[in-house]
Structure 1
Amino acid sequence: MKEVTTSAWFTGSISTDLVICMLLIFAVLLLWVALLLSRVIKLYITEKINPQPFASAAEKAALESLKVVLEPKIKKPSIWEKLMQLKPLEQEKDLMMDHKFDGIAELDNPTPAWFMVLFYGTIIFAFAYMMNYHVLGYGMSQDEEYAAELVQAEEAKIAFLANPANAGMAVNENNIEDNNEPAVLQKGAALYAGRCTPCHGEHGEGIVGPNLTDEYWLHGGTVKEVFKTIKYGVPDKGMVPWEKSLSPQQLSDLTHYVLSLQGTNPAGAKAPQGNKM
């Protein structure tokens, strides 16, 4: 076997040797910094005890020329600064106004460009608006727009009602007419059974509500009056309005069924109320 020999400067371990080298380099740097600090301290003590003139005339001239070279150039204002009319702090003394109050001076800052553009833009818009609507008459006024919308709504209503599928939606208390067709009465009976029996009875004899089978009516007994009563209800007497839960066609079917109950004379009918029709 070969004998491994190591130098006196190295330990034989690479990691250990690297650490030692780094510590030596750090020690050298630390020594160099200590020497610099000692020179600075020595210079400071010397100047403190025996201060020397700052510089000669030639040195001052050289220093001024160097200052001009090293002095940062005044940068051009950016687009944002131009838009906002921003001024650097160095120029505040030029913007300061003559009057002061309690030691506080006012700066004569100009109005920002964006505000002036907006201000003059509103003036131009107002002038164009006046010429378009009130001078040249190209645009419609509010009254004219309202009249045009009414005409458009009427045309839309006519087109809507022209569709047979929407014919039932046109029924109201002003145009409803008598209808005793069996299909209509059958639909009305189903609606009556689910909504009216608790107050008016299963056969219209009257319980909490009035009797619907006699000739007396509290709020009118014509087809239009009964439709209106069912639609808007009688809140003062506990009858709810059905216009929000029933369609106009359902209100119409229910009205026709209620009128068909007149004269049926069910057993246990409630005493007449209201005026005779």
Structure 2
Amino acid sequence: MKLFLVADSTAVSSGWNMSTGNIYNDILIILLVVVLIVLLFTALSVSKAIKSILKITMPEVLLQEQAAKVAAKQARKIKWSNNWKKIMGLRPISEEKDIVIDHSYDGIKELDNPIPIWFNALFYSTITFGIIYLLVYHVFGWGLNQDQEYVREVAQAEKAKQEYLAQVADLIDETSITVDETGAMATAGKAIFAANCSACHGQAGEGGIGPNLTDRFWLHGGEIKDVFKTVKYGVPDKGMVPWEQTLSPAQIAEVSNYIVSIRDTKPASPKEPQGAEVEYASAEKDAEAETDTTAVQ
């Protein structure tokens, strides 16, 4: 009893998780496993001994077993060979005389071999596939044909493009904004300007409470980055609110492009210039191009 208790405490302390919780059950299971292993080895030894006895006392039995194994192996080989010949459409050499074509060319004779099964299977499977394809894609319309797949892919690509552009537009800030050469952003910004900016700067940007936006004089810089920054953060000490709380970065970019697009226009009753005059890089390039053209002429 003391031995069992010691064994139980040792198993628990060693973290053996295979225990059933009862030391007697654990010992019984171990004994059963050992007995099964012993029986297995005993059966193998007896089987080996019987074969040795038969080999000495009844050699014809072993010969019959070996002959049966060889015959079975040969039968499997012949069956496989016959199946292969059927698949490939081959005929035994002994039957070639029965399939020789009557006429010959320059002493060369041909055999009228049948079409191989694999070729027929391939041929008829293509016909079946063609019929199924026709029904699915062109009769019942269960699948999309090439034109429909193209239209779907174009629509998906356009959707992905718009989602990407929307994300990119919201990432615009005063350091990354550039003038939109297509004019699309300026066109969109006109409505934003009319709804939010015209009360102070006039419908055409001629100025009112706020400064004139159509001349080359600016209080806080006239480049597109400066305009974006002014619209975004506002000028609180002058009464201009920061529009970043109302407009998205994309909308600020659009209205900034519109403001840049109306410079050098001639609205009615413009307000007097305020701030410092700004020389634009684009105007300088145009002047240089005009000078080069004159020189060439």
- Taking structure 1 as the reference length, the TM-score comes to 0.41
- Taking structure 2 as the reference length, the TM-score comes to 0.38
